[in-house]
Structure 1
Amino acid sequence: MGKEYRGTINITAMGIQCQQWSVTTPHSHSWNSEPSNYCRNPDNEHYGPWCYTTDPTVRWQYCDVPFCVYSKEAKECKTTTLGYEYYGIANTTITGRECQAWVLDTPHDHSNNELPGNECRNPDASPNGPWCYTTDVSSRWEYCNIPFC
């Protein structure tokens, strides 16, 4: 569904320029937390990233965002400080604690249950990058040590 997409595609699949998320013209909306006009999927649209368009007659359209093919090297690193794009297999925290599976609410209850596996991720734009809930009842969550590419 491309919810994790943080690239810079800003044209719809039909070639229309995307409207800035932070403005409400020509189309009004309430998704104004994104400061760009890049394709995103803030509401889990089944067919992936989309955007409001700058064409007053076309409210929104899907974007043609390709699936990524990672090399082993790229898969195990992040390219930005936030690490939105990180989808590697690291599943231990910076202190060595095992990550709790995202679909579980034990030992720590949370609302990020849609993520698969128990790998380090950054679903909430945490400023220090990927993290996870831990399986240790005394430590709710911790950051993970994900290197830059």
Structure 2
Amino acid sequence: MRSFPGKDLKMNYCRNPDGELRPWCFTMSPTKRWEYCNIPPSGLGSQCISGNGDGYRGRIGITESGNTCQHWNTQFPHKHGWIPDRYPCKDLEENYCRNPNGEKRPWCYTINSSVRWEYCTIPQCDGTEQSAGMSSGCYQGKGLNYRGTTSITVSGRKCQAWNSKSPHDHGKTPEKFPNAVSTEYLCCKGG
């Protein structure tokens, strides 16, 4: 078994201990062993917010509680009036978090029929909200040094703890990948 020291396999936080394309985790879903995480890479457009985020045009499509966002051009499971064709300047594309109405931060309708809408967790560009920047963060390259606290996959699945063998048995435990708590939290800057 290969050993990967310094990979900081704590809790159920997304990591890249083995050189995958980007940070990932084992999921809590018995039918999906692992998945890439919902972390924006740095340098791909605006992946952080300034102020209330009304100008945010990034590609995060997961709410703060892990619900996947509903596509703006669909009316199911939630009917709404934010039709992309009616508001072309709001960039209501795909299922990405947006703030078309001046809320306190970007939000979206969710695909969870019991949760109409929720705010999204997107880091502040200026670093004034440390908790937001550190909980989401972003990564460079393949994310080998990513040490943020995101624990949700791109499809909204919760990550399995690295020291757990359930629901998926694996060899990437904190004991085999020890040490190194990195303090490198990268701020995502646009462009």
The normalised TM-score by structure 1 is 0.49
Q: Which one has more relative contact order, counting CA pairs under 8 Å at least 6 apart?
A: 2
The normalised TM-score by structure 2 is 0.39
